Every structure is written in structure tokens, then in C-alpha cells.
């Protein structure tokens, strides 16, 4: 099909809520490494990696070969049957993750992984209230939407009772009008009053992303999680760490984002980059917590042999290339370029992120910090013209999210930054 035919059929046969980027959407047909090509033959440098899902690179050869080889041998079996690939992936997760996390449940997406984690926390504690954060995104199911705190992503009111939302550590837009560090991390301490006033005083869990993804790559200060998790545990709750976007070296220097804050979760969730684009979700927990989920459960496609082959191949390449250290080194180069861009452009209000997970928050005025979704839209279009694909997020849609495949080389990273500079110069 030609581009317009595809776009016409997309409009006719898909739900209208299936939104696309750009005034004229890009119809992708091929990808290799950090490069993708559209149906018209135009090439783009991918600086968003399918929402941080293409963790290594498009069509990574080792992963493609593992998928093809496994597909020739056994394409499907449900969790009713153990397989070598399934137990290998589970064992590797247990060795990679921090603390006492050991036993996993595999599913198909971050939504399912988060659902499993919340269900597990409720069963283990015998409690039902969940503390989440404003600006959080947890998926598209009824429970995940109840935990999500983004009106743009919530088509219905909360369907699941007992979810309350605390203030995030959004230092650039502190909800208390304070400044770090003199604020003494008020947002974290405020969770105690939230528990005392908006819950029964007995929460099941606190669920949070180390760096809020859809929220606009919001990075908490160093003390935040020690304080916040300490308060929740004081009231008998457990900590669910959502590593769907931050996991597997993305934040640089560590395998998982939460390791930068020195907190060991009772439960952790993954998806996106775990299998370089294959549909895999996973929930890992301490053994005593995993044992709480009695009775029968299964996942028809969770732990699928082909998906597990992709997962194990992705882990192999990540270990071979020391992805955490690579993301740390390249992330420092990217951050330096973004900070330099901020010096040249007054509409860049904030630069933040870690590793190869960086963001620009665009504003109309640095003094008032008025969000500028219009400038963000301009920048997206200008970057597209330069052959650069970016992501967008934040409550107002004014945050540009940058997260290229982590096997991007130095030359491609610099070229992407050059294209971004030219795009920034075109914003009015």
C-alpha cells in the first residue's frame, strides 16, 4: 500500500483514540539499528526507540536470529508447560535485580505486569489501598487507569476504589512552591499525611516509577525514595517499583533505575525494553510475597517460547556490551549537548533525565514557567523534517522525551544532536 491508503484505512478501521504523532503521520516499514525508513523511502534517526522499547536497536541480529530459530522449533505453549527459555529468563531476572527479588510471573505488557504486582501486594498484605503518584502512567486496563494520574490518558473515572495519589518529586514545578534542597523533600514527607487523611491508614502498597516516563522524565532528588518508601513501610505497605521504562540499563550505571536511590523493592515490574520490542511483561517479587498468591493462575501468552527467546537474546547482548556503562557514557554526551542547547534557547525551561533517558521541558517564559505545548509540537515537526524522531509527554504535552536505542554509536548520537539543534533553531 501507499502511504495515503494506509492512513485512510487507519482512520476508517481503527479506534479514533489510536493517536499518531505528527500532522502527517510517519508510516514506518523498515528498521535497522537506530535507523528506520518509511513507506516513501525517507530515513529517520530514531531517538525514541518505540517508547523506550527498542532497547538495543531495530532488528538486532542476535534477537532476530533467536526469534527465527525458536519459531522453527516451538512457537507456542502456555504457562501450563515449563520451558527452558522461561526458566532461564526468570533465573537471570533474579540475578540481575536488587535485593531479595527472586520469583517471576511473565505476561505480555507493562499493564499486565503492574496489574499482577498490585494484585500480589493486596493478597500479601490483606489490604486494598494503593498509593500512587500524580503524573504517573501505569497502563490502559481499568486498574491501571485508576493508578494513572493523567487526565489525557483516563477516558473514564477511576474504576477501582482505594487508589490515592501523592505529589511527585517534580522539582521544576514543586507543588509546594519550594526549592530543593531547602524544601527538605516535602513531597516525600507529605505521603504520611496522605496516608493519615485519604486512606484507612493501612495501605497495601506504594507504586512508583523511579523516573516518571509519560509524566515527562521527572527525576526525584537523592533522598526521595528512602523517605517515601520508609513512610509506606512504617504503615505496613510494600513498595512496587515500576521499571517498565527505566529498566535494563536505560538510566546508566545500574541495571535498574531504583538502584540509584538505594532502595530495594518488595515487587518490581518490567516490559518495553526487556525483549527489544517483543511483547513481554514481567513481575518479580520476594519469595514470601510471591507465595501469597495461592490458587491457580496462568497466562496464555506470558512466557511464550518465542518471546522468551527474544528476552534471553536481549539479555545476552546487554551483558556483552555492558549496557549500563554504555548508557552512562553516552548519556553524559547527550546531556552536555542538551544543556548547551538550553543556553541558546530561552524556551527550554528544564533539562533533566539520567543515562539515555533525557528530556527537554519547553515553556513560553522561564520566569513564569508557562508550559508550551505549541513549541513542543513545532519542535516535533521540525525534527521530523530533519529526519529525527522524538517522543513527547508531560501533563501539558510540552516535554520532549529522548531515549535512543542503547547500542547507538557515538557518531549517530552526535548526528542526532546536530539534527536536534537545527530543529530547535526552527522553533518560533
- pLDDT tens digit sequence for 299-355: 999 999 999 999 999 999 999 999 999 999 999 999 999 999 999 999 999 999 999
Percent of the chain with pLDDT over 70: 100
pTM of the model: 0.96
CATH class held by domain 63-320: alpha beta
Q: What's the CATH architecture for 3-38+47-59+322-425?
A: Alpha-Beta Complex (3.90)
pLDDT, greater one: 269 or 145: 269
- Quick one: pLDDT at residue 161? 85
| Separation CA 405–CA 127 (nearest Å) | 40
Q: Where exactly are the structural domains of the chain?
A: 3-38+47-59+322-425, 63-320
- Quick one: pLDDT at residue 59? 98
Burial 114-150 (b: 16+ CB within 10 A, else e): bbbbbbbbbebbebbbbbbbbbbbbbebebbbbbbbb
Q: How confident is the model at residue 90 (pLDDT cuts 50, 70, 90)?
A: very high
- Quick one: pLDDT at residue 93? 98
Question: 3-state class of 142 per DSSP?
Answer: helix
Same fold, 3-38+47-59+322-425 and 63-320: no
- Quick one: pLDDT at residue 158? 74
Predicted confidence (pLDDT) at residue 156 exceeds the cutoff of 90:
no
For residue 33, the cross-strand partners are 58
Q: What is the DSSP letter of 393?
A: E
Predicted confidence (pLDDT) at residue 159 exceeds the cutoff of 80:
no
Burial 392-424 (b: 16+ CB within 10 A, else e): bbbbbbbbbbbbbbbbbeeebbebbbebbeebb
Predicted confidence (pLDDT) at residue 415 exceeds the cutoff of 90:
yes
Contact 214, 392 (CB under 8 A): no
Q: What is the pLDDT of residues 92-114, one digit of tens each?
A: 999 999 999 999 999 999 999 99
* pLDDT, averaged across the chain: 96
| Separation CA 80–CA 298 (nearest Å) | 7
The pLDDT of 109-132, averaged and rounded, is 97
- Quick one: pLDDT at residue 151? 87
The pLDDT of 260-271, averaged and rounded, is 98
- Quick one: pLDDT at residue 181? 97
CA angle 101-254-353, nearest 5°? 120
Amino acid at each position: 500500500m501507499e502511504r495515503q491508503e494506509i492512513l485512510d484505512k487507519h482512520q476508517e478501521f481503527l479506534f479514533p483514540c489510536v493517536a499518531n504523532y505528527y500532522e502527517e503521520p510517519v508510516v514506518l516499514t523498515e528498521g535497522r539499528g537506530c535507523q528506520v525508513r518509511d513507506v516513501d523511502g525517507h530515513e529517520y534517526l530514531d531517538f525514541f526507540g518505540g517508547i523506550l522499547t527498542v532497547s538495543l536497536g531495530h532488528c538486532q541480529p542476535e534477537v532476530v536470529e533467536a526469534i527465527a530459530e525458536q519459531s522453527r522449533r516451538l512457537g507456542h505453549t502456555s504457562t501450563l508447560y515449563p520451558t527452558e527459555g522461561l526458566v532461564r529468563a526468570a533465573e537471570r531476572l533474579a540475578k540481575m535485580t536488587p535485593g531479595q527479588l527472586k520469583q517471576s510471573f511473565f505476561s505480555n505488557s507493562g499493564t499486565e505486569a503492574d496489574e499482577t504486582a498490585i494484585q500480589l501486594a493486596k493478597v500479601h498484605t490483606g489490604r486494598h489501598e494503593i498509593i500512587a503518584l500524580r503524573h504517573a502512567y501505569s497502563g490502559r486496563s481499568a486498574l491501571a487507569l485508576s493508578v494513572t494520574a493523567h487526565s489525557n490518558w483516563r477516558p473514564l473515572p477511576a474504576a477501582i476504589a482505594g487508589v490515592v495519589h501523592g505529589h511527585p518529586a517534580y522539582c521544576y514545578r514543586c507543588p509546594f512552591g519550594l526549592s530543593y534542597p531547602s524544601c527538605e523533600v516535602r513531597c516525600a514527607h507529605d505521603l504520611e499525611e496522605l496516608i493519615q487523611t485519604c486512606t484507612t491508614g493501612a495501605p497495601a502498597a506504594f507504586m512508583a516509577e523511579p523516573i516518571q516516563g509519560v509524566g515527562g522524565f521527572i527525576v526525584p532528588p537523592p533522598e526521595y525514595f528512602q523517605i517515601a518508601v520508609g513512610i509506606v513501610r512504617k504503615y505496613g505497605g510494600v513498595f512496587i517499583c515500576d521499571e517498565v521504562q527505566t529498566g535494563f540499563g536505560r538510566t546508566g550505571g545500574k541495571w535498574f533505575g531504583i538502584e540509584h536511590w538505594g532502595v530495594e523493592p518488595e515487587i518490581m515490574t518490567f516490559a518495553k525494553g526487556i525483549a527489544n520490542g517483543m511483547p513481554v511483561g514481567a513481575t518479580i517479587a520476594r519469595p514470601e510475597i510471591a507465595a501469597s498468591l495461592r490458587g491457580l493462575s496462568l497466562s496464555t501468552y506470558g512466557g511464550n517460547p518465542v518471546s522468551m527467546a527474544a528476552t534471553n537474546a536481549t539479555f545476552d547482548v546487554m551483558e556483552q556490551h555492558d549496557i549500563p556503562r554504555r548508557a552512562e557514557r553516552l548519556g553524559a554526551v547527550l546531556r552536555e549537548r542538551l544543556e548547551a542547547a538550553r543556553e541558546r534557547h530561552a524556551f527550554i525551561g528544564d533539562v533533566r533525565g539520567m543515562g539515555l533517558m533525557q528530556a527537554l521541558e519547553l515553556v513560553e517564559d522561564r520566569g513564569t514557567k508557562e508550559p508550551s505545548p505549541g513549541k513542543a509540537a513545532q519542535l516535533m515537526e521540525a525534527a521530523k523534517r530533519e529526519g529525527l524522531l522524538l517522543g513527547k509527554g508531560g501533563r501539558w504535552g510540552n516535554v520532549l522525551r529522548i531515549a535512543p536505542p542503547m547500542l547507538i554509536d557515538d557518531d549517530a548520537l552526535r548526528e542526532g544532536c546536530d539534527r536536534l539543534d537545527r530543529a530547535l533553531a526552527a522553533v518560533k
